[in-house]
Structure 1
Amino acid sequence: MPYVHIRVTEEGVTAEHKRQLIEGTTRLLEQVLNKPPASTFVVIEEVPTDNWGIAGETVTALRQREGR
C-alpha cells in the first residue's frame, strides 16, 4: 500500500494542479511498481512560505527579494 506525501509551498496550487499530481503519482506507481490504484494514497500538504526555508532564509524573504 503506497503512501506518497507531497509538500509544496502555498503559492497558487489550484485544485486542478492537485488533481493532476494525485492522478500522475498514482499512475506512476502503477506503471513502475505495479501497485493497484485502489491501494495508493497521495497526500498533498501546502506549507506557508514562512515555514519553508532555503539557504538559511524563508521562501517569503526570497520571494520578496525576487519581487514576487
Structure 2
Amino acid sequence: MPYVNIKVTGGTEAPTPEQKAELIAGVTDLLATVLGKNPATTVVVIDEVPMDNWGIGGESVTVRRQQQPGK
C-alpha cells in the first residue's frame, strides 16, 4: 500500500479543492504507471502547512514572501 504525503503552504497559496483532486489523481496514476501499484490501495494525503510554520534559509515563508517584489 503506497502512502504519499504532499506538503504545501496553506493560507492564500493553498491549492483549491480542484487542484487537490488533480494532485491525488495524478500521483495515484503515476504510481500505477511507473511502479505498477494498485490505485485502490494507494493513499495520498495533502497537508497544508501555515506559512509561519514553514521555514527556508532561516526565515518563515511568510517573511520570505513579504520580501519579494509583487507579492
Task: Bin the TM-score by the shorter chain.
Answer: over 0.9
Matching of residues 1-68 of structure 1 within 5 Å: 1-10=1-10, 11-67=13-69, 68=71
Equivalent-residue separation in structure 1 for 2:36 and 2:14 (angstroms): 32
Moved over 2 A (4+): none
Cα RMSD over matched residues?
A: 0.8
Give the gaps of 5 or more residues in structure 1. Answer: none
Identity of aligned residues (%): 59
Give the gaps of 5 or more residues in structure 2. Answer: none
Counterpart contact for 2:8–2:14, Cα < 8 Å: no
1:12 offset after TM fit, Å?
A: 3.3
Superposition TM-score, scaled by structure 1 size: 0.95
